[in-house]
Structure 1
C-alpha cells in the first residue's frame, strides 16, 4: 500500500470548556465541560465558570447541537461527482446532449465526458447512444442518472467497454455499476484526496459522521485512507456481499473499530432497483408497461429464502443488515425477511410502503434510513409512475407516528451531502414555489433534527464531544434559513474539524 507523501492535516486542538452556549428553543446560557473527547458536565453559565486549567471557547450565545450524521452516503461517488458535468436540469434526452456538448468543449481531445444527474422518468424522448454519438471528434461519453441506477453511453464509450454492439447504450442496475467503475476510475491517491475534500466540506456543514455505502471494497479503501491520517468525521464503512467472506474471515462486526474514527458498517443488500429507473419493486404495475413484461412491477433482486439466509448469516456474525428497498412490494418482502430471520437491522430508502406495514418497522426493530431530498426531487416522477399511491410515498410522518426509528441521509451524490437540505426538505416537502407535496407527511423541525443527530439533538453529560455550533436556532428558523443554516463551527471528539475565523 502506497501512502500519499503528505499526511492528512491534524484537527485543530479543541477547548476544555464551551462557554455561553444556547440549546435549540432555549434562551438560557450554558457552559459545557469536555475531557477526553466526551462531555463531562452541562451546567448553567456563570461568569466565573472554571476551565479546569484548559482552554475555553466563548461561543457568545450560539446554538449548540449534537453533531449531524448522514446515514446514507456514497462518499467516493460524491467526491467524483463534485468534479463532473451536471446535466440535472435537462428536461429531455436532447437537452442533456446539448448540455454535454456545451460542457465538454474545453476538454482535451478524446477525453471521456462524464456527466451526472439526469432524470429520464418524465422525459418525452428516450436516451439512446445515437444521440450522444453526435459529440464532436467521436468523444466517448458516460452519463449517470441521478439515482445511480442507469448509465447512458455513446458508441465510443461502449467500445471502451468492449460492448460496441449494445443496442441502446442504456445500462441499468449491475451493468450500470460495472460500466461506471470501469470507465470513471481514478488513481487511488487522487480519489482519496477528493474524498478528504468532500469530508471537509461536509464538516463545514456540521457533519460529524456518515455511513458510507460506497459500492466498493469499502473497508480496505477506508483503512488505506486512515493510515495516512484520521478523517474529519466518523465513518462507518459498509460491506457488500462480494466482500462478505473477507469480512467474516477477519471477524469484523458492525461497529468494530478499524482505525481512528473508522468502524465497520452494516452489510448492504438489495431487494429492488429505483423509482426513476422503474425498477423499484411494487405491488401495482408501472403505467404504460405491458403486463407480459417480466419487469412490469419492477425488479426483484435478493428476496425470499435467499434474503432470509443472508440476514441470518450476517446477524449470526454480528453484521447488521441494511436492505435497500424502495417499492412497496420490496419493503414488504424485506420486512417479511427480517421477521423470519428473527434479527434487527435497517431498511434503506423505504420510499413506498403499504400503510399496514408502517408499524412493522418498530415491531421488528428495523430502522428506516430515509432521504427527504428524494421526496421533493422525485415528486413528479412518483405522481406519474405511482399514481393513486403517493399518500404513502416518502411517508415519514406516518412511519414515525407508528413508532419507526427514522434516520435522515442524503444518498449523496443523488442529493448533496448537506444535512440542512435534508432537514428542510423533510419539514417543507417542497423546494420550489409549489405547495408542499403531501404536507401530512411533513416532519417538525425537532423531529427532523433528532433524526439527523442520532435520535436527539440535546447535549448531555457522557455524550461524545461531537457538536455543530450554529449561528441560528433551527427550531425558529424559516425554511429558507434552515436550508442554508450557517454553521459557525464543528467539533469532532472535542477538536475543531471546522471553525469560522
Structure 2
C-alpha cells in the first residue's frame, strides 16, 4: 500500500485555537495507519502521495453504532411520511401514491408517528382512499405498520378496526413489503457512499438478517466504503456458535467486516406505547394489562440467549427503551458478569445510571431520537422526561457512550447525533432538558468509538472538515461540511 502525506492539516481538539492561530501539521499515512504527525513543512525523508488540506480540520472518522442498513436503503424507495402529523395527512399521501402507482404494485410508505395524532388510525379510512390497491405504511420507529385490507389479504394477516399491526406481528411481515432481494449492489453502494460523504467510516449493522454472510458478499460486490460490525440475531445464533466465530473476528479478507454482538429486542418503543416502563403511560388505564408496555422477549429468554452468546465469545447488544426494560437488562448483565451494550437506553431510573457505570455496560444512544420524541415523551411520560436521554448524567457517572442513528428511524448521519447531544435542540426550538447537554469532544468520542483526536498509531480512518467542530453552534454541527473521508488511508469521499 502506497504512503499518503496530508499536508497543512489542523488537528481539531477541545483546546484548539481558531484557524488563524492553529498550528498546521503534516500527517503521514502508511499501511493504513497514521505513522507520523509533524509540524507542517518539515521534510519527511520518504516518498508519498501528497494532498494539501489547506488548513482544514482533521478528526477521526465517525461511526454510526446502530443502523438497519437494508431498511435504510429501502427507505429511499418508499413514500416519505416523516413530515406528517396526522392521520389525515398520511391518508392524503397514500391516496396520491395509489393514483400514481402501477396496477398491482404495492404502495409502501415510511415514517409516520401516530403517538400525537389528533384522531386515531382507522382501517375504514385507509380503505376508503386506497381501495383494493395494497398499501403498507411503516411507522418511523419500525415498531408498527398501518395496512389496508388489500395489504392484509396479501400477507395473510388480520388486524382490528385500526388497521395497525404492532411489534412481533408487524416484524413478521415487514420484509414482505419491499424484498431486500430486489435491491442491487449499486443501491447499497449509493447508501454507503452517502454515509462516507458525511465523514462516516463504519457502522454497526443491526438489520434482522444473516449479516455475517451477507456483508462479505456486499464488500466483494464493491460496497467497500465502510467498516461493518455485523450483529447476530437470535435466529442465527446457533449457526454462529457452531461456526466458532467470536465478536471481533474478521469475516472477509479485506478486513472491512467483523462479527458484531448478539442483538435482542427486549421491549418496544415510545411512539408505539410498547416500551416497558415502571409506571403506566399517561392517558392509559393503569389496570390495563399493557398500560406500562411490556417485554418483547421475556427476561428469562433474553438471559439464556446472552448466556449462550457469552459462552461462545459473542458480546451482547440488547434493545431496551423503557426504564423497566433497562433495569431488567442491567440485572441480567450483572448476573452473568457480562459486558456489552444496551441499545437506546432512552428512559432510565437515576439509580440505573450508576449501574451502567459499575457494570461496565455501554449506553448506545441515538441522540437525534430525543429531538424526534420530545413531544410524545412529554405527552406519555409526564414528570419523567428529565430521565429521558440523560447523557450528561451518564457521562458524569463514568458510563461509556456510543452514538448511532437507528437508521432509518433517523438519517444515517453522525453529525445529527452530535448536534442533538451538544445542543438538545433542533429547528430553532428551546433546548429540551439543557442540563443533559454534553461537550463537543465527548460527543465526538461517542461517535468515533475511541479518542476524539487524531493520534499516531491509529487506523487512518479520518474525516476532513471545513469547520472546526469545537467552535460550532448546534446548527453548524448538524450541517457540518465534510471535505473528505479516508478509510484505512484510502479516500472514500473527496471534495477538496
Q: TM-score, normalised by structure 2?
A: 0.95
C-alpha distance in 2 between matches for 1:481 and 1:500: 19
Residue 153 (1) aligns with residue 147 (2): yes
Contiguous gaps of at least 5 residues in structure 2: none
* Cα shift at 1:287: 1.7
SS at match of 2:472: coil
Aligned match of 1:231 in 218, 221, 224?
A: 224
C-alpha distance in 2 between matches for 1:103 and 1:434: 32
Q: Which position in structure 1 is the counterpart of 2:247?
A: 254
Q: TM-score, normalised by structure 1?
A: 0.94
Q: Which position in structure 1 is the counterpart of 2:489?
A: 494
Q: Which position in structure 2 is the counterpart of 1:193?
A: 186
Residue 19 (1) aligns with residue 19 (2): no
Q: Which position in structure 2 is the counterpart of 1:325?
A: 320
Aligned partners of 2:189 and 2:222 also within 8 Å: no
C-alpha distance in 2 between matches for 1:301 and 1:230: 33
C-alpha distance in 2 between matches for 1:92 and 1:67: 39
Q: Which position in structure 2 is the counterpart of 1:69?
A: 63
Residue 277 (1) aligns with residue 272 (2): yes
* Cα shift at 1:411: 0.6
* Cα shift at 1:132: 1.5
Q: Which position in structure 2 is the counterpart of 1:206?
A: 199
Matched residue pairs, number?
A: 487
Residue 439 (1) aligns with residue 427 (2): no
SS at match of 1:176: helix
Q: Which position in structure 2 is the counterpart of 1:393?
A: 388
Aligned partners of 1:309 and 1:341 also within 8 Å: no
* Cα shift at 1:459: 1.1
SS at match of 1:433: coil
Quote the RMSD (CA, aligned, Å). 1.6
Residue 215 (1) aligns with residue 203 (2): no
C-alpha distance in 2 between matches for 1:166 and 1:383: 28
C-alpha distance in 1 between matches for 2:227 and 2:102: 38
Aligned partners of 2:73 and 2:187 also within 8 Å: yes
C-alpha distance in 1 between matches for 2:97 and 2:477: 32
C-alpha distance in 2 between matches for 1:273 and 1:70: 21
Q: Which position in structure 2 is the counterpart of 1:9?
A: none
Aligned partners of 2:122 and 2:162 also within 8 Å: yes
* Cα shift at 1:418: 0.6
Q: Which position in structure 2 is the counterpart of 1:360?
A: 355
Aligned match of 2:51 in 44, 48, 57?
A: 57
* Cα shift at 1:15: 5.2
Contiguous gaps of at least 5 residues in structure 1: 1-12
Evaluate the alpha carbon distance shift between residue 493 and residue 281 of structure 1 in structure 2; reply closer, same or farther with a 3 A threshold.
same
Q: Which position in structure 1 is the counterpart of 2:418?
A: 423
Q: Which position in structure 2 is the counterpart of 1:31?
A: 26
C-alpha distance in 1 between matches for 2:423 and 2:359: 29
Listed one character per residue, the Cα deviations across residues 466-497 of structure 1 (whole Å, up to 9, x for unaligned) are 00000110100122221110000000000000
Q: Which position in structure 2 is the counterpart of 1:119?
A: 113
Residue 372 (1) aligns with residue 367 (2): yes
Evaluate the alpha carbon distance shift between residue 222 and residue 374 of structure 1 in structure 2; reply closer, same or farther with a 3 A threshold.
same
Q: Which position in structure 2 is the counterpart of 1:472?
A: 467
Aligned partners of 1:254 and 1:264 also within 8 Å: yes
C-alpha distance in 2 between matches for 1:14 and 1:377: 45
Aligned partners of 2:98 and 2:133 also within 8 Å: no
Stretch of structure 1 that moved more, 288-297 or 29-38:
288-297
Q: Which position in structure 1 is the counterpart of 2:284?
A: 289
C-alpha distance in 2 between matches for 1:56 and 1:225: 31
